[in-house]
Structure formats: C-alpha cells, structure tokens
Amino acid sequence: MTVLRPVLSDLGTAWMRTALAVVGGMFATYANLSFFMPFLVLYLQEIGLSPGESAIWAGYIGFIQGLAFAAGAPFWGMLGDRVGRKPMAVRGIALSALGTLLVPFANSAPVVFLIIMGRGLLAGPGSAALALVSSVTPRRRLAMVVGWIDAAQVLGSVVGLAAGGRLAAAIGIRETFVVGGGLGLLGALLVLLFARERFLRPPALAGPTRLSPLRRMAGSFGRARSTVNPTVLFAFLLSGGFWMTNLGINYIIPLRIQEMAAPERVPLFTGLAASIFAATMFAGVLLASRLADRWGYRQVLFAGILGMVVLFLPQGFTGELSLFMWTRALQGFCAGLINPLGRTLIAFASDPADRGTVYGISGLFMGTGAAMGPLVFGSLFTPWLGVGPAIGLMAACLVPALLLLLRRSEINVLAARG
C-alpha cells in the first residue's frame, strides 16, 4: 500500500486523468503497431512478392519509417508549442492508426512503402504524448508517469504480438490490420475525451504574425536551441543510441539463436528472448522512478547504461543459449531503467515553453537511431563480421552517452527541483 498511496491520493486530479488517458492511448498505439509490423513480410508475400523480395522491401519500409519519423518529429513538436500539446498527441495517435488502416488497401509494395513513409512524417505519437504529460504533471510525479507510458508501450507491444498472431491465424492479415488500426483510433479518442491541457501560447508566439511558416519554425528552433544544454544533449544521445541498438538487435537475434539452438527450436527461443526482454523491461520502467528517488538519477542512469553496454558482449560471444537468455533478461531490466529516466530529464532541463520542440528534436535522434540500427547492424556489420561481433559492437552506440553522463554532475540537482 505504501507504493500505491501517492498514486491513490492523486486520482481525482486533472493531471492524473490526463496522464492515465495518455497511458491508455500509448498502450493502444503500440498494440496497433504490433498488430502490423510482425506481419508485414507475410502481407507483402500475400500481395505477390517472393520471400526474398518481401524481406528486402520490409527492410526498406522499416528504414523509411524511422527516417520519416526523424524528419517530421521536430516540426510537429514545434507546432505543439504554438497550438497546444493535446492536439498534437491526438493527431499523432490518430494518424498512426490511419496508416495501419490504409495498408490493407495497398496492392503493391511501393504503395505500402509510401503509406508507411507518410505515417512516419505525419504521426510521431510518442514525442507528442511526452510533451503533453510533461506540461501538466507535477515534477515530483513526472518520472513515475513517464515510466507508466514506457510500461504501457511495452505491454501494448506484448499484447499486440500475442493477440495479432491469433487474429492473423483466425481472420487473416488484412483484417488484423483493420482491427489494429481501429484499436489505435480508440486510443486517440481516449486522449481527446479525457486529457486536459490549459495551454497558453508563450508571449513570444502570441498575436498575429506576418512571418512565413519557415521563418516561424526557424524562430522556434532558435529558442529551443538555447534550451538544449549538455543535460538535454545527453538525453538525446541516450535516446539515439538506445533505439539504434534496440531495433538493430531485433533483426538479428534469430540469426544469433540459430548458432546455438536446433533448427526446429529457433522460433520458440526467438519468441522467448523477446518475451523475456519485454517482461524485465516492464519491471524496470515500473521501478525506475522509485530507484532514482532513492539513489539519484545520475547513479541509476549510470548503472543502467553501463549494464546495457557490458551485457552486449556475452550476447555476442557466448555459445551457451541459457547465458544468452539470462543476459537478455538483465539487459531488459537495464533498458527499463534508462529509457524513462532519460526522457524525464528532457523535461527537467528544458524550458516549458519550448518543450514540444525539444521533445520533437529528441524524436529526431530516436527516429534516426531506429532507422540506422537495422541498416548498420543487420545489413552492414552482420554480413561483414558475423552476427556475434555485430551484437558486441552495439555496445559502442551507448558509450557517448555514458561518457557525457560522467561529466553531468548537475543531473541530481535538476531532478530534485520542485
């Protein structure tokens, strides 16, 4: 009950209702995405591609999705600072769902490619949701709420994978995409009806203006640039490195397991590795804010990042499947610690008036990492060096953030304010 007491005392507040609405919206969004991405290769085969062609196009589509999101996120973040964060969150969740709903009507791989590229450019629900909750949540509860959002994303992904697989077998892949898109639209409706935001346009943006949209965007980025201090830069590097490794390893884990398991057991252990990582990451995000309050943000971040870095090495070079699974479990817990704390630091260290833009720039780093991970580790390093060394080299993606963290002694002070 001591864990729940502070939560129960806040249940009647407007900010808590908003936080719970966003958590529900993110759960629906990531369930929707998990209804779609795992079955993309099969859908491409269904519309006439060979297995080899479908794998190539799936790689192209995954790359353009991350790249398009990286390109669009800063613009939508800047727009959120002008018109409000709630409209941007509803827009992002709804357009993400609409992208899934449109795919069943595509009858060729290039059309699917264009739909997903458009969704990446126009959606970006995660950054918008973080900007919204950070603008209404008290500082003392912000890390907890960001942890809930991360937990909802993990849980939504797990539920989406499990339910999507059953639905695809029962009603077909096209129909599964429709169900996933409909679930995403329900998430947008949840935020629209229950989230509350008292948005006041900053004085620098108030009133009519004759400036062109490009000049207004440049002005917003100029103001946000003054907010991008070394602590925020650390959070950006952490986000880019985290998503580069997370997306990179997902594409090559089956190849690594093939080196350690009998062929008929590879699908089983591949699913088990993903489930173990998700379960321990879920535990990590739920505990992150409590551990940070007790031991300090900087200390918990350091332990989590160092754990992530070190654990890539046995995953890449062990010949024992049991050790590989244990290291995936430990790394999932470390990932659960660093992701919400890193994203919370952006709110602690940035100007509230520019928070949408700053979270949008964070989305640029995240999307770039998500796009580059499969390309660098799946398409470049794995054929060149082998799957084991490619996994070991993923540790280098988080080293810049780790080194910058060593120089950021002010992080605990920022977290303690308010």
Tell me the whole-structure pTM to 2 decimals.
0.82
Q: What is the pLDDT of residue 52?
A: 74
Q: What percentage of the chain carries pLDDT values higher than 90?
A: 38
Across residues 313-338, what is the average pLDDT?
A: 95
Q: What is the pLDDT of residue 4?
A: 47
Across residues 157-183, what is the average pLDDT?
A: 86
Q: What phi and psi values does residue 145 have, to the nearest 5 degrees?
A: -70, -40
Q: pLDDT tens across 92-139, in order? A: 999 999 999 999 999 999 999 999 999 989 887 878 888 899 888 888
Identify which has the larger pLDDT, 194 or 379: 194
Q: pLDDT tens across 343-380, in order? A: 998 888 888 778 888 888 888 899 899 888 888 888 78
Domain 228-418 CATH (choose: 3.30.530.20, 3.60.20.10, 3.40.50.2300, 1.20.1250.20)? 1.20.1250.20
Return the closest-CA partner of residue 50 out of 109, 104, 106: 109
Q: What is the pLDDT of residue 329?
A: 96
Amino acid symbol at 186: L
Examine domains 13-196 and 228-418 and report if their fold is the same. Answer: yes
Identify which has the larger pLDDT, 341 or 38: 341
Query: How far is the CA of 103 from the CAs of 35, 107, 112, 140, 182, in angstroms?
Result: 12, 9, 6, 42, 13
pLDDT band at 389 (very low <50, low <70, confident <90, very high): very high
Q: pLDDT tens across 8-52, in order? A: 566 678 899 999 999 999 999 989 888 877 678 778 888 988 877
Angle at which helix 125-136 crosses helix 139-171, to 10 degrees, equals 150
CA distance 91 to 122: 8
Q: Burial level of 1, CB count in 10 A (0-12/13-18/19+)?
A: exposed
Number of residues that make up the chain: 418
CA 356-358-361 angle, 5° bins: 110
Give yes or no for residue 5 having a pLDDT over 60: no
Q: What is the pLDDT of residue 367?
A: 87
Token pair recorded at residue 67: 């790249």
For the chain, the average pLDDT equals 85
Q: What is the pLDDT of residue 2?
A: 44
CA distance 33 to 54: 19
Give yes or no for residue 237 having a pLDDT over 60: yes
Q: What is the pLDDT of residue 3?
A: 45
Which residues in 167-213 belong to E strands, given as ranges?
Answer: none
Q: What percentage of the chain carries pLDDT values higher than 70?
A: 89
| Best mean pLDDT range from 192-206, 249-263, 314-328 | 314-328
Q: Domain residue spans in the chain?
A: 13-196, 228-418
CATH class, range 13-196: mainly alpha
CA distance 252 to 63: 15
Give yes or no for residue 6 having a pLDDT over 60: no
Give yes or no for residue 171 having a pLDDT over 60: yes
Q: What is the pLDDT of residue 157?
A: 83
Give yes or no for residue 1 having a pLDDT over 50: no
**Which residue in this structure is represented by tokens 């993606």?**
397
370 and 68 in contact (C-beta within 8 Å)? no
Query: Which residues lie closer than 8 Å to 273 by C-beta, 6 or more apart?
Result: 253, 257, 324, 325, 328
Query: Which residues lie closer than 8 Å to 324 by C-beta, 6 or more apart?
Result: 256, 257, 260, 273, 314, 315, 318
